[in-house]
Amino acid sequence: MNILSNLLSQPAQNKNQKRQRRGIEIKSPREIDIMRQSAKIVATVLKEITELVKPGMTTADLDAHAEKRIREMGATPSFKGYHGFPASICSSINNEVVHGIPSAKKVIRTGDVLKVDTGAYYQGYHGDSCITIAVGEVTPEAARLIRVAEEALFKGIAQVKAGNYLMDIAGAIEDHVKANSFTVVEDFTGHGVGRNLHEEPSVFNFRTREMPNVKLRAGMTLAIEPILNAGSKYTRTLSDRWTAVTVDNSLSAQFEHTVLVTESGYEILTDRTKLC
Ligand code: MG
Ligand code: MG
């Protein structure tokens, strides 16, 4: 399986990387407190972008806003420079699935299904979140795809609790997507997040026996990020070597949150609804 999400994985200049233990990290209360802050920066930026985006803007405009605000809040953009990715957000429109590169030539139009994914690195820890925005009036099918994608994320999150398993998350997402006649993209997965943008474990959005079915423990921090297509689940990568698109040009939508596993359930660290 081609897990392309790892392309954006390792922060090249992360001096803490040397200290990384193998396996799944359990964050201490101190680390969790810092992650709440890095995640809040990400949530703030995505909330602002939702309010800012208008037809006629370019994806480079959104990227410039994200980078400015991430730095103003004392963090650095997690994505910029990693494995050569040139921007602070991934902006993927309509049939683009993930890793779209912001561009001054890419004009946002009414009716677009716009995915914005960003990360912030703050005091040694990353936050990571993605939203899909309906720009102006979208088709009923696009609106349904976006709604079901967000529901799928929350179905997955609802399974997060110490003692549950990764496949409980995967199964809940897969079942909800199938029940709504959309497809789950299998080429990309969620991941652990913390000192590194992508850590163990891989968080699948569909049932699989290819990876260990890890038991969740309090203190794990997971980026859960289902991607749904309206048509084929298959993707291909464009010649820019980043942008993944659906093979049949069907629409794609994604939502992602950084989530803390607790004894009794979960805490959504990138929750935008709790921002004042
Ligand atoms: Mg992300
Ligand atoms: Mg992620």
Question: Which tens digits make up the pLDDT trace of 79-136?
Answer: 999 889 999 999 999 999 999 999 999 999 999 999 999 999 999 999 999 999 999 9
- Ligand 2 centroid to Cα of residue 222, in Å, is 9
Residue 39: enclosing H or E segment and its boundaries? helix 29-52
Q: How far apart are CA 126 and CA 76, in angstroms?
A: 9
State both tokens at 87. 């921007």
DSSP string of 55-105, one letter each residue = TT-BHHHHHHHHHHHHHHTT-EESSTTGGG--SSEEEEETTEEE-PPP-TT
State both tokens at 228. 């749904």
- Ligand 1 centroid to Cα of residue 198, in Å, is 10
Q: How far apart are CA 39 and CA 156, in angstroms?
A: 19
Instruction: Give the model's confidence band at 8: pLDDT under 50 very low, under 70 low, under 90 confident, else very high.
Output: low
pLDDT at 7: 52
Whole-model pTM: value is 0.93
- 113-122, 184-193, 205-214, 236-245: range with lowest mean pLDDT: 205-214
**Which CATH architecture fits 19-274?**
Alpha-Beta Complex (3.90)
CB neighbour list of residue 235: distance below 8 Å, 6 or more residues apart: 97, 185, 187, 188, 244, 245, 246, 247
Could you report how far apart the first and last alpha carbons of the chain are, in Å?
Answer: 41
pLDDT at 85: 97
Residues with CB under 5 A from ligand 2 (ion): 128, 223
